[in-house]
Structure 1
Amino acid sequence: MNTVLEAGTRPLHGRAPEVSALRHAIRSAHRTGGLRISFEGTPGLGRSRLLAEAGAVAEASGATVIRSLHEAPEVFDRPLVVLLDDIHCSDAADVRALAQVRLNAADVPVVWCTARRWGRPNSPLDVALGSLPDPHRLFRLRPLDDRAAREMAHDLLGAEPEGALARMVSCVSGHPQALRVLLEGLLEEGRVEVGTYARLTSSGLPEKFRGLVRRYLQDCSPSCDHMLLVASVLGTHLAFGELAEVLGTKPSRLLPDLQEAVVSGLLSQDGDDVRFANGLFRNVILSAVPATAQAAVREQAHHYRAAPRGTAAEHSGRRTPHVAYDFSARPARNLMALPPLNGNTAAPAPRRLPKVVTVLNDHPAAAARNASAEGHAAPVAHGIPGWDRLTEKQVVIAGLTVQGLTNKEIAERLYLSPHTVNYHLRKIFQALSIRSRTDLVRLTHTDSAGRGPAPETRPAAG
């Protein structure tokens, strides 16, 4: 179990609710008698930084602060704030030390501030702290919002980023550690010019950032690494059936690796949408795949997408169902080996496509083309602001909605639940800045009318 570092000099952005709870708990410790505050999140979201902030607040209020159970004094005469990081890594010795601290601090109020990695199994110290009678407040940390990420970038650079650098900051998707390492790496390599604004002077990711992603991969098993390599070739969003097909495995065997990648922080989950946590993570992983291997993987995916319906696989009852993910704890093994990709480029046997055709390249036209092949008339709406932010699944759902299908009908056609369809519709409305299905129909029809009729295709001469 790691001890907590001292607070840094830079301000803490985007964590106002957490910091407010810390201040209130520490300042009201005399009245409450005891309280437990926990921070939980995937790597790099700022758990340790929040504990450091708690230490600074506690010391400013005059409380006694300890950062290790094994270095606590024997007598306490002031309120006590205990900061414990990475408690998922604790052991029986930590539990014994906890019991001794509780005994020595029996006459003073205690605020327990702990941090752990989300998704890891409960440790002995987790169990012991969970048995305390003190009120408990848990914060599950999320990525920073756009405003907080821009403010953090301004602090690190000394100026507002613009142009390509601003777009790069946005691509980090609010991941605090990734943003800090990215900007520090660019500055150390002399690739940022800082004046009234901060600008990139050369393209590419700094080696310091690539090293961070490699360290995240070190926490993953070889099979998880392999899955991430292949997924990076296929696109930002993961289509479960297609990924299992390309990997040559059963969907049920893929679930532990997907779970592990989410716990590691390399993938993120929003409802049933699983994607790379940010585009720059995907770019680093993709750069490790040789171009010839990328071509072979895309060829496999192409055959899977293009397989006709009504094949022998359909009659045998073989199809890949839609899977909703609920990733809970699973220990990640600390192995570094990355197995090579299978170089076999032979086309797989024809099989039925699942009714959810989620195209993994990022071009909207590809989503529309594949949706049409499945009988879903997905609109191609290049002129609608926000359309490029829709996932491929949302493009298909938008197309079926425009056709007049109800949520229940869309759910039956796509092997989803009506609740999931409703979730995606809310995301579609939010991305397109509309409020209803009627607005969606009007928007797509207006866009179609604005483009005019499709040009006539003439047969080739001769």
Structure 2
Amino acid sequence: MSYALRGREPLRELLADALSSAAAGQGRGVLIEGPAGSGRSRMLAETVSLARERGFTVCRAMADHVAHPAFLAPLGLTPAGAPAARGADPLHRLAAHLADRSCGTPVLVALDDLQWAGPATLDALRTLSALLATRALPVLAVFTRASTAGDPAVDRCVAALAADAVVRQELEPLREDSVTALVADVLGAPPDETLSGLCAAADGVPGRAVELAEALAGTGVTRAADGRAALPAGPLPDPLREAVLRPLRELPATSATLLDVIAVLGRSVAPVDLALALGQDVRDLMPLVQECVTAGVLASTERQLVFRHALVWQAVREAVPPPVRSALAQELGERHARRGDFASAARHLAAALLAGERRALAGLERAGRELAGRAPRDVVALLDPVVGEQPSGPAEAALLVPLVGALAALGRPGRAAVLARAGLDAGCRPATAAELAAYLAEAELATGAVRAAGERADAVLDAVTVPPDARLRALAVRARARSRTDALTAVRAAADELRDEARRVPAGAGHPADAAACLLHGLAHWHEGRPDAALAELRRTPGPGGAPHPAGHCWDVRAALGTALLDLGAHDQARTVLCAAPEQEHDRAVDRSPAPGTGAPLAVLALETGDLEQADRMAAEVLGVPDDDRLLTDTLLALAVRAESALRRGRSRDARPDADRLLALLRTDRFDIAAGRALRTVLRVTEAESGPRAALHLLRDLCGPDIPGDPGIPGTPNEERTGGSGAVTASKEPGLPGGAAAPCPLPGALLLAGPATAVWLVRLARAGGEPELAGRITAWLRATAPASPGSAPGEAMANAADHAEGLLRESATLLSRAAAAYRDPWSRARAEEDLGTLLKDGDDTDRAHAVERLQSALQGYDDAGSAPDAARVRGTLRGLGVRRRHWTYADRPTTGWASLTDTERAVADLVAQGLTNRETADLMFLSPYTVNFHLRQIFRKLSITSRVELARMHRDLEQQQAPAAASPPKRRTHPGAAHDRRPRPGHPAATGTVRSAHDTTRALTAPDSRGRR
């Protein structure tokens, strides 16, 4: 069947122009060259058909059949009986006839397959081309020739033709779109993506594309939903496979065997693997490989031999009987394992097992165990399809051990727990059961099920048959599950015991149990308020030459170290730690995505640097992970980031659900590295809604045992207390910096939760009527700061100490020094505001400096996206006679919610909750007259006349937006953009009877004792 000629339009135009020139008496020659199947004969036939339409006399023949009578018959000539003489040759007679101008019409001489021409024909062709080059004749001569190298005599003739100005045209491979159109012609419909391999396998040769498409069309083409032609699912249809393999039948048997082996090993293979599979040296395979490359079947990359086309690889692979494929893969996998190449061994053994070769089970388990710690992604990719959801027996259940370990290492505890439970339910061997139970306990611990994890670890340790690795993991889980912030001596003792146990087993100090010991020691120091000792422990390498455990594991020291550095204000160091990729995470280093266990700390970093939109986005990504796959630390940090971002935007009501979730988690366990930041968030939300006294009450209720020396707190433990102050004092440990800890007036993790947290706690205590607590916090800051002079954490502690002491002593010098030293915009703005508030009641010079400082604070709050703080400073500036324009013009509609300005929207939010104009003005630091003006504008734009209507419309709007509540709120760009949503009147915060700690910046009022230096 003939199909449309695709992709040859330029050549068709050239031949049409040549026919026109010949008809005008300006004849010439054209030589068409191309490989088999490129369409040479088809182009010649098209030219013959067009010439006859234009009235040409056509003399056509194969180049080796010019002696046939039909060749010269159109001109009335007949070949001589015996062309012994030169003039008797048909082409010579034709040239003589044309030279005599004996023809009355234009002539087309068409000779196909010039490569088969004999010497006499070649000699006559040269005579004919010379004639056309020297005389103007109404003759067009078109020849075709295969482009492959052939007879030297033919090559010499072609060179002579070119010298006689014969036009040479090479038929290039068709473009992809032309091949696709040609396949569509054969199949009767455009091909879809599944047929892209068929189009590519044609190599741009139209004859090959037609052959493959016709082979597929003969078996019945599947039609996709959109009407396009599709390749049937499963193995290739037999006719198509035979059509694909037909050119390979011409290869020698040794080369064909080479291709079979490569196809079984995969579409690409390393030469070393190929030599190993064939039992030969690489140098012995070079001739065979070169033969396959020359044939166009194989190509080479920098390190691999690869089938050029996936369709060819599939056809060759399917031609090998399945038992041979599985046996070859199993044999090669065992050979790789004996050589220590467990990555290659696992790949081939997994393929063998999928093909039904059960003998590969034991070798695959061993290879998986060897790779689980070094290449967990490879283990998951290979073993997950093999195991499935439910193992069929003890041998398959044993494969779950490396798979579950790899999943845990990749930060996927949910999937690890599902498979571990499936293995335990399948009735596996006792040793396998102990290993799976230990991994399951780790997964439960990582996701926050601390009590369940501890109970499961106890069960593992009570079992009869427990491998050393499982016992160490169970010991680590039990030690962490029993860790309490009011029993830190016991925590350190358990960590020391765990470290000693890890060094007694062959795994050595590089085992995760040693990392767990480092983590427990570091957390104990952290909760004691000893940042130097905590950082030193978290920075310890888990053994000589050992690498940190892969990110996402519950013993990942790197995530804890990065979080601690963030809390201490060492942002650059934290970024370096969190974004570093260990050697075993080479694939993650390429895709640049955050590793499991680092996304939440990076969200904290964005929050601390004032990028609220980025912080919200990253927190939403973390919280979007399923609960059973999300680490406890990630949950605490992401909830804290989202809640504090809402607070900075002035929307404390939006922060309350996240604060409630944090509070529930903290009541279960407070030993996590993120517990301090989570507690700070809960307290800040409580302060924003109910005032500082309520926040201090909640702190005592939640952490009473962790607040030493506070009168009226029942049940304060006596462990680790000193003297009458009852302050926690760490025992001195050799080799750790810091020595004994300074008296810690509050939970250490809370005091260390951010550079400005301790200062905020000082302000909270003063606003809550507890100046003694404020003084003790300041003393702790001043005593802790010198422990690490010169380091970023030490500088952050010193800045906080200057800030807190400046507040207590009303020292402009200390506040100025703190403001200059803070690195994050919010902390710097807070210090600038405190300094400006201190100076604003002084003389004219002080007032000028106060305005300057307050304006700097306002800019800092704007940079940090903290709208309520900015509004408070703006109110202070108005009191000093300074008014700043804080709005911008926007393209808004004239009516409806979208027409409200940012300030009008904030007023509407508060009034809709039932607040009066006076209460709204107090919360927004505006005058009641300004609020009344905004309210009139709101009524006009919304076409309403009462607060009741406003409350109803506000409720309806919130219900419409409820489905999007999980998405991070967009950052407002102006300080007046959003304000706190306060409780209804009657609540302490709404009535104004309790002042926020942010508003109490000068509790000491003695005018002559400000301590200015």
Partners of 1:130 and 1:271 in 2: how far apart?
39
Q: Residue in 2 aligned with 1:125?
A: 154
Equivalent residue, structure 2, for 1:215: 246
Q: Which amino acid aligns with 1:219?
A: E
Q: TM-score under structure 1 normalisation? A: 0.53
2:184 maps to 1:154: yes
- Choose which of 13, 16, 24 in structure 1 pairs with 2:6: 13
The count of residues paired between Structure 1 and Structure 2 equals 315
1:36 aligns with 2:31: yes
1:237 & 1:254 partners in 2: Cα distance?
16
State the Cα distance separating 1:448 from its structure 2 match: 2.7
1:97 to 117, 121, 140: 121
Within the alignment, does 1:182 sit opposite 2:212 as a pair? Answer: yes
- Residues 67-78 of structure 1: matches in 2 within 5 Å? 67-69=61-63, 70-71=65-66, 72-73=71-72, 74-75=93-94, 76=98, 77=103, 78=106
Query: What is the one-letter code of the residue matched to 2:121?
Result: A
Give 1:155 deviation, angstroms: 1.6
Give the helix-richer structure, 1 or 2.
2
Which of the numbers 592, 597, 604 marks the counterpart of 1:448?
A: 592
| Contact 2:222–2:230, Cα closer than 8 Å, also in 1 | yes
Deviations 1:90-145 (A, max 9, x none): 3xx62322323554674555544323254x55454234323432345352633x43
For residue 112 of structure 2, what is the amino acid of its counterpart?
L
The change in CA–CA distance for 1:201 and 1:113 in structure 2 (over 3 A counts) is: closer
C-alpha separation between the residues in 2 aligned to 1:256 and 1:18?
39
Q: CA deviation at 1:206?
A: 3.2
Measured at CA, do residues 53 and 199 of structure 1 come closer, stay the same or move farther in structure 2, by a change above 3 Å? Answer: same
Measured at CA, do residues 101 and 292 of structure 1 come closer, stay the same or move farther in structure 2, by a change above 3 Å? same
* SS of residue matched to 1:233: helix
Contact 1:261–1:267 (Cα < 8 Å) also in 2:
yes
When residues 257 and 199 of structure 1 are mapped into structure 2, their CA distance, relative to the original with a 3 A threshold, is: same
| 1:27-61 CA distance string (max 9 Å, x none) | 5565473343322x3x5454544444444455555
**SS of equivalent to 1:287:** helix
Q: Which has the higher contact order (CA 8 A, sep 6+)?
A: 1
Structure 1's 38 and 205: CA in aligned 2 closer, same or farther, altered over 3 A? same
Deviations 1:222-268 (A, max 9, x none): 22222222222233346445445544445555444344434544446
Aligned to 1:66: 60
Match of 1:281 among 312, 324, 339: 312
Q: Tell me the alpha carbon deviations over residues 153-198 of structure 1, each in whole angstroms, 9 at most, x when there is no partner.
A: 2222232234645675566665534432333233323344599724
On the 8 A contact 1:164/1:200 being kept in 2, the answer is yes
- Secondary structure of 1:36's match? strand
The 8 Å contact of residues 157 and 194 in structure 1, kept in 2 or not, is answered as no
2:401 corresponds to: none
Show the 5 A alignment for 1:242-253: 242-249=273-280, 251=282, 253=284
Q: CA contact under 8 A between 2:6 and 2:178: conserved in structure 1?
A: yes
Of the candidates 104, 112, 115, which is equivalent to residue 84 of structure 1?
Answer: 112
Q: CA deviation at 1:83?
A: 3.7
Task: Give the Cα–Cα distance (whole angstroms) in 2 for the partners of residues 36 and 14 of structure 1.
Answer: 18
The separation in 1 between residues aligned to 2:224 and 2:288, in whole angstroms, is 42
**Is the CA contact (8 Å cut-off) linking 1:86 and 1:117 kept in structure 2?**
no
SS in 2 for 1:99: helix
Corresponding position of 2:438: none
Displacement of 1:148 in angstroms is 1.8
Distance 2:282 2:114 in 1: 32
Contact 2:58 2:108 in 1 (8 A): yes
Matched-pair identity in %: 24
The secondary structure found in structure 2 opposite 1:66 is strand
2:143 corresponds, among 104, 108, 113, to 113
- How do 1:34-433 residues align onto structure 2 when only pairs under 5 Å count? 34-39=29-34, 41=35, 43-60=36-53, 62=56, 64-69=58-63, 70-71=65-66, 72-73=71-72, 74-75=93-94, 76=98, 77=103, 78-85=106-113, 87=115, 90=116, 94-103=118-127, 106=131, 108=137, 109=139, 111-116=141-146, 118=148, 120-122=149-151, 124-132=153-161, 133-135=163-165, 137=168, 139=170, 141-142=172-173, 144-162=174-192, 164=194, 169=199, 174=204, 176-193=206-223, 197-200=227-230, 202-203=232-233, 204-237=235-268, 239-240=270-271, 242-249=273-280, 251=282, 253-267=284-298, 275-298=306-329, 303=335, 307=339
Deviation at 1:282, TM superposition (A): 1.9
Contact 1:38–1:139 at 8 Å: present in 2 too? yes
Question: 1:365 & 1:453 partners in 2: Cα distance?
Answer: 20
SS in structure 2 of the partner of residue 197 of structure 1? coil
In 1, Cα distance between the equivalents of 2:107 and 2:145?
A: 20
Shift of 1:281: 1.9
Q: Which is greater in Rg?
A: 2
- Which protein has the bigger strand share? 1
What secondary structure does 2:213 align onto? helix
CA distance in 2, matches of 1:36, 1:161: 34
Superposed displacement of residue 84, structure 1: 2.5
Counterparts of 1:450 and 1:14, CA distance in 2: 48
Cα distance, 1:453 vs. partner?
5.1
Q: In the aligned structure 2, how far is the partner of 1:271 from the partner of 1:122?
A: 36
The question of whether the paired residues in 2 share the 8 Å contact of 1:153 and 1:169 is answered with yes
Residue 19 of structure 1: CA displacement?
Answer: 4.0
Mark the CA change 1:233 to 1:192 in structure 2 (over 3 Å): closer, same or farther.
Answer: same
Partner of 2:319, secondary structure, is coil
Q: Residues 6-25 of structure 1, C-alpha deviation per residue, up to 9 Å, x if partnerless?
A: xx742222334444454455
The RMSD of aligned alpha carbons is: 4.6
- Equivalent pair of 1:154/1:161 in contact (CA under 8 Å): yes
Cα deviation for residue 288 of structure 1 reads 2.0
Segments of structure 2 that go 5 or more residues without pairing to the other structure are: 73-92, 342-376, 383-586, 599-628, 631-1013
User: AA paired with 1:292?
Assistant: P
Please say if residues 60 and 109 of structure 2, whose CA atoms lie closer than 8 Å, have aligned partners that are also in contact. yes
Distance 1:308 1:19, change over 3 A: farther
**Structure 2 SS opposite 1:115:** strand
